[in-house]
Amino acid sequence: MHQKEWKRCRVGFCVLSTLLALFLCVGHAQAGKIRVVTTTTDLKALVEAVGGEDVEVVSLTKGYQDLHNVMIKPSHIRKLFRADLFVRVGLDLDFWGDRLLDNSRNSRIALGAPGYVDASRGVPLHEVPTAPVSRAAGDIHIFGNPHYWLDPENAKTITANILAGLERVAPERSGTFRKNRKQFLADLDNAMNTWRKRMEPYRGTKVVTYHRTWSYFVRSFGLDVVGYVEPKPGVPPSAAYLRGLIDKMKDDNVRLIIVAPYFDRKMPQFLAQEARAKVLVLPPSVEGVSDVQTYFDLFNYIVASLVEAMRQSPVS
Amino acid sequence: MRKLTWSALCIVLVSLMLWTDSPGLAATKPTEVEDLRQELERTQTQLKELTTKMQELQERLQQVEATKVDGEPVAPPPPETPSRPAMLQVPLGQRQLLLDVGITGDFVAAFVEGEEKTPRGAGTFPGRENRVFPQEVELAITGRVDPYARADFFFEFAEEGEIEATNGSFEVGRQLEVGIDEAYVTLLQLPLGLQARGGQMRPKFGRLNVVHQHDLPQVDRPNVLVNFLGEEGESEVGAELSGLLPTPFFQELSIGVYNGDNEVSFGKGEITDPLVTAYLRNFFELSDASALQVGLSGQTGPNEQDRRTVLAGLDLTYKWTPLEQPYTALTLQGEGLYSHHETKADDKDRFGAYIFGDYRFSRRWGVGTRVDWSEFPIVSGREWAVGPYLNFWLSDFLRFRLEYKHTDRNFAGNLDEVFLQTVFTLGHHPPHEF
């Protein structure tokens, strides 16, 4: 090796040493609160319900965002780098979280680490494929429908998973977390009674939804989904399909089409016009609209909107 | 009375003896015994099954009792297995293929007017003018090696074209080439929040060098990258270290050391006198819907004449993606490169840049235009080009693109080209990244 090359190597070594010294400055702030990152605003709300004042929660997505189609950003990596706990929907809805975890450089929240929580564990799933799956069936969820937080009963299992995660990273605060969760469950039971009473007169009402977002909700509250705007998950409808759906809506006397805020409104509005139905835009997540800031707000809003819409458009 | 009783008993006994010796019983007795034996076996099997089930239920009851909190069950510890299996986790008995596999086809039809059958006068795809050809068929295999590392392999099959001078004339050569685009391991959780990559990879240098051919925003790589780094960009063998800097915004510094095999700007290919690269990535979240990335990059290494080449770059990317409209996106991106190339005769300082705007206005349709201006790192000459294009997505896994490109060159005739591209993916494809 020439002297000139050795000189270059020395310069390179000095640069690397300086950089390492700079990285040494990077430390994890030991704040009093547990830093939690969730993939959705619903999980953020539930973590806040269990963690109370002891947690500082950030969601990687917004409540009015389509969770199937999320662009991951460097700022997400920075949030995860500092996190003590990572809570995800699981299944294959927030699959993009895997790439973020790989890039997070944070072993505390890696798969299988104490700070990793898959909120779907133990939740009874609907629409689990029983036949071999293929993309010919559209953007199918291979483990079952992942919108399970829309059945309030499932919040019991979700918060149990969150509680277990919080206890793993901060066992000394276990008592507070358990107390918070107990209160949340009591409030949930009371609220559930109210929601069910309000929805009871409309049990069996036939509706159409854009995507299979509302499967858990409609089963929990007794609505009957007779069709979807999408012929297959993630596949836009053809004119022929829409004609068939209009006929079905007329035959079944469907008066309501439920759409999440991020889906195209033109086709639901066309359907509504042709079948003399009404389009109801409902947020499937907390913070989907400004009035909805907690998990209870979400169902208060959905139930109130549905009751009002069904009252205005009674089935003849 | 006693006599009568004895007589009756004798009659019964004789009758029984006669009956048991009869041919009918001789025929039915083994069948009944067999039936009884089978019945007994069935009962024993059922009993065993019931015992096993009872044991399972007992164990589950004990687990539930052990994990109860205030009357509510608490979830068990986090899973040791992935919650989302890879797209190709095919059960093979008790084993699974724990890796993601995806294969992407990228075919282009290139219609060219004004090209010259010379190495410098050819079109964007030299030797493949007025042809349909596989620009790239890529096999991607990725996954976790162990809890500490992941591995990424990308194999490519592509039709390569070449124009060579032989005996005063030029000959066009084409062949299907198979190669490794990238094959590297990433150590995910080094101390101090560092990550390291090792193997063959696209060095983090600028914005589009790391992007694979089929994921490019246009049919072809921008002229400046082709002129400074080659048609397929730069892929090197070596190692890279990256870390997040302690700043209030995302700032990542990556430093790499490679052989320096790139034939256009470097090419000595010895790790003892390596190609050294650095990339500083700065990301600013302007709002929920918009963000800006500014990248500063540089690399230096020996070239084929054993003199130094220095490349420096600046890239800017702005994206607007309204979250309530998941398929709408506006991208404005530009990248400028400066090259200082030392030769035995003299030093050459050259420059090149591109800028494009891309607007996806619906789930299926998008439009864009790219403008190029570039010199060449060694030979003289410059060119500029403009290329509007139209995208159509049938789904996330099948895309068509129509592009027109006009190139104006001061060293050869002007070119007008039309490209029709189709890109289709089977299997795993990573999520969209900024």
Residues B371-415 pLDDT 10s: 999 999 999 999 999 999 999 999 889 999 999 999 999 999 999
**Which of A315, A236, A303 has its CA nearest to residue A270?**
A236
Per-residue pLDDT, B68:
52
d(CA B390, CA B218): 9
Task: Give B61's contacts (C-beta < 8 A, 6+ positions apart).
Answer: none
What pLDDT, on the 0 to 100 scale, is given for residue A129? 87
Phi-psi region of A127 (alpha: psi -120 to 50; beta: other; left: phi over 0): left
Average pLDDT, chain B: 86
> What pLDDT is recorded for position B7?
55
What values do phi and psi take at B294, rounded to 5?
A: -125, 125
pLDDT at B17 over 50: no
Task: List the beta strands (DSSP E) in A101-244.
Answer: 116-118, 206-209, 224-228
Residue A254 and residue A277 in contact, taking contact as beta carbons nearer than 8 Å: yes
State the Cα–Cα distance between residues B342 and B265, nearest whole angstrom. Answer: 10
Q: Is B115 helix (H, G, I), strand (E, B) or coil?
A: coil
Q: Does A206 touch chain B (CB under 8 A)?
A: no
pTM: 0.81
Residue A147 to residue A284: CA distance in whole angstroms: 9
What's the confidence (pLDDT) of residue B90? 44
Output the pLDDT for position B21: 40
**A1 touching chain B per CB within 8 A:** yes
Range 202-241 of B in CB contact (< 8 A) with A: 241
What does DSSP assign to residue B4? H
pLDDT at B190: 93
Which of residues 243 through 272 in chain B touch A, CB cutoff 8 A?
Answer: 243-246, 249-250, 252-253, 255, 257, 272
Helix (H, G, I), strand (E, B) or coil at B161: strand
Are residues A113 and B72, on separate chains, in Cβ contact within 8 Å? no
Best residue in B84, B292, B300 for a mutation probing chain A (most A CBs within 10 Å): B84
Q: What is the pLDDT of residues B229-241, one digit of tens each?
A: 999 999 999 999 9
Contact A121 B75 (CB under 8 A): yes
| Terminal alpha carbon distance of chain A | 91
pLDDT tier at B84, thresholds 50, 70, 90: very low
**What residues in chain A have per-residue pLDDT under 70?**
1-31, 314-316
Instruction: Assess whether pLDDT exceeds 70 at residue B13.
Output: no
Nearest to B420 by CA among B393, B394, B389, B398: B389
Nearest CB among B73, B323, B395 relative to A62 is that of B323
CA distance B340 to B350: 7
CB A166 within 8 A of CB A55: yes
Q: What distance in Å separates the CA atoms of residue A41 and residue B91, rounded to the nearest whole number?
A: 35
pLDDT-based confidence at B262, cuts 50/70/90? very high
Q: Across residues B36-51, what is the average pLDDT?
A: 76
What pLDDT score was predicted for residue A233? 87
Q: How far apart are CA B313 and CA B295, in angstroms?
A: 8
Residue B416 bridge partners (DSSP)? B113, B406
Chain B residues lying within 8 Å of A98, measured CB to CB: 82, 84
| Structure confidence by residue, pLDDT tens digits, A236-280 | 899 999 999 999 999 999 999 999 999 988 999 999 999 999 999
Residue B2 confidence (pLDDT)? 53
Two tokens at B132? 């349909």
Distance CA A63, CA A283 (A): 8
CA separation for the pair B195, A245 (Å, rounded): 52
Select from B189, B326, B433 the Cβ nearest to the Cβ of A66. Answer: B326
Given a cut of 80, is residue B1 above it in pLDDT? no
Instruction: Compute the distance between CA of residue B388 and CA of residue B429 in angstroms, rounded to an integer.
Output: 27
Chain segment B162-207, per-residue pLDDT in tens? 888 877 788 888 999 999 999 999 999 899 889 999 999 999 999 9
Model confidence at B85, in pLDDT bands (50, 70, 90)? very low
Predicted pLDDT of residue B16: 46
Helix (H, G, I), strand (E, B), or coil: what is residue B294?
strand
Residue B138: predicted pLDDT: 97
Closest CB from B78, B244, B327 relative to A26: B244
Residues 129-168 of chain A with CB under 8 A from chain B are 135, 139, 143, 156-157, 160-161, 163-165, 167-168
The confidence score (pLDDT) of residue A285 equals: 97
